[in-house]
Amino acid sequence: MGEERRIDPMALSEELDITVILEEQKKAEEIVQEAKKKAEAILEEARSAAREILGKAQQVEMDPEAKKMLEEEERKIKDSLSQYERQLDEDLKRIKEKLTSNREQFKKL
């Protein structure tokens, strides 16, 4: 005589629930992966566009008036530095003369 196999409805229900949950999890993971791929593609497009804009911005010539102003400021700064350098040279010359004078006076003592 064959034994009759008994199926526990609760165990079957739990197995089905777990299977459904795993399938839904797999679908969700696939959706997340697709979303990541799309996001990466969008980011790459944005980076590419930004590089292109930056490249174009670097190629744009400076406004002639702005360029003239910058050149004038640069000239003023160079003039100021030259004047400061001359002043330092004069101060150094005076200090050397004073040192020489002091040495001579010290030798006399």
| More confident position, 6 or 34 | 34
Model confidence at 12, pLDDT cuts 50, 70, 90, reads: low
pTM: 0.42
pLDDT of residue 1: 47
User: What single DSSP character describes residue 60?
Assistant: S
| Distance, CA of 20 to CA of 27 (rounded, Å) | 11
Condensed to tens digits (0 to 9), the pLDDT of residues 38-97 reads 988 998 888 888 888 887 777 767 678 878 888 999 999 999 999 999 999 899 899 988
